[in-house]
Amino acid sequence: MIERYQRKVLKDLWSDQHKLECFLQVELANCYAWMKDGLFSKEEFELLKKAKVNPMRVLEIEEETKHDVVAFIKAVSENLGEEKKWLHYGLTSTDVVDSAYALIFKKVNQIILQDIDDFMAVLKEKAFLYKKTPIMGRTHGMHAEITTLGMKFALWYEDFKRLKHKFQLASQEIEVIKLSGAVGTYSTSHPNIQKVAAEYLDLEESIIATQTLQRDRHAFYLSVLGLIGSELEKIATEIRHLSRSELREVSEAFSSKQKGSSAMPHKKNPILSENICGLARVLRGYMHTAFENISLWHERDISHSSTERIIMPDATTLLDFMLVRYTKTIRSLVVYEDKMINNIESSLGLYASQKVMNALVDRGMDRLSVHDYIQKLARKVEEENRHLKDIILEDQYLKTIIDESTLNNLFDYRNAYQYIEHIFNKVFR
């Protein structure tokens, strides 16, 4: 991942140094299990625990071996004595690689989970802050009925509750080790070694595997990352729409020295939201590759390996960046409540057309006939640029059925949040 879209904490977790340190942790967990099984002494294990890994030395050896795990074992063994013979005992390379991935993912997932919690906290704060702030609801991009700005944030919060649950499930499925050997049969080990090593590393162990863990685990995980990115895009798209000059109901914070355009000095563009929309496309691209990795030849091939060196660090790093960036963006969002009211008023009461229709049905009129009648009046509103309530009050037929006081109630903005407490109690219970 390019540094522009990468935080140092994720960069460090996916660094060669940390990856090799995780390789070593897996090797030591395997050694610990064999020591507990009686293969060698505790004293020898204590010597093995002193092992260090030098990434530069690993790269030097890999130039000769053309095999990263063999290079790693050779490099670590150079600083060990006779006890080095127990290093990698009973293992195959992917035992180490996949199990090391599990260790990395466990730390990465903790960070992303905190990112999700931080973002949800901001959504909740905004939901309650604007719980009863009227804003025009739009369907098909057109004025519909009044909702509240808080409802938008509450909806996104509810979305993230589901996404957080999915992320936790996906995390559990990849925070898993396998030490079952070249084709998953434990032919050079035995199941208890994996069990003890898993406990040593505080990870779950696989139930069955080939030489690799099944890649549907990783595809599911990348799918969830893609879903989270798509939800961020959904929110960012709404912010972009509400920021348009014609609406101007919200805007991203804009610093005094910030520039919106090299050509037009007046521009204040929603660049952070646009950035999120673009990055979400990249994130979903990684998901496709992860699905392609599910089908491997027989007990394994390495067609997945090269891609995972790219997509796993990049996808997690990118989502972390997106969540942190958009948490800040939403926290500092500028809201123009007066403009929201102006935009509602610009509809000249058409937002209440259904409530008027229902009120007339309640008074004995046929619904289909009323629908046609109100539709004609709505066209008159547009043609004459007059408020729907005034046109109804002037209608010789309708004014005998419904009075002005009732109409005032039907056009009251507060109707938009008469059940807001009920909705919020369900979302934030």
Query: Is residue 67 annotated as part of the catalytic site, yes or no?
Result: no
**146, 414, 422, 424 from 418: Cα distances, Å:** 12, 6, 9, 12
Query: Is residue 243 annotated as part of the catalytic site, yes or no?
Result: no
Residues whose CB falls within 8 Å of the CB of residue 18, separated by 6 or more in sequence, listed in order: 12, 104
Q: How far apart are CA 426 and CA 143, in angstroms?
A: 27
**86, 166, 332, 353, 371 from 398: Cα distances, Å:** 92, 53, 48, 14, 13
CB 24 within 8 A of CB 76: yes
Backbone angles phi, psi at 136, to 5 degrees: -70, 125
Give which of 120, 218, 216 is closest to 164, Cα–Cα: 120
- R_g of the chain computed on alpha carbons: 30
Q: Of 41, 187, 261, 369, which is the active-site residue?
A: 261
Characterize 371-395 residue by residue with b for buried, 16 or more Cβ atoms within 10 angstroms of its Cβ, and e for exposed. bebbeebbeebeeeeebbbebbeeb
CB 287 within 8 A of CB 224: no
Residue 180, burial from CB neighbour count under 10 angstroms (0-12, 13-18, 19+):
buried
Active site residues: 140, 261
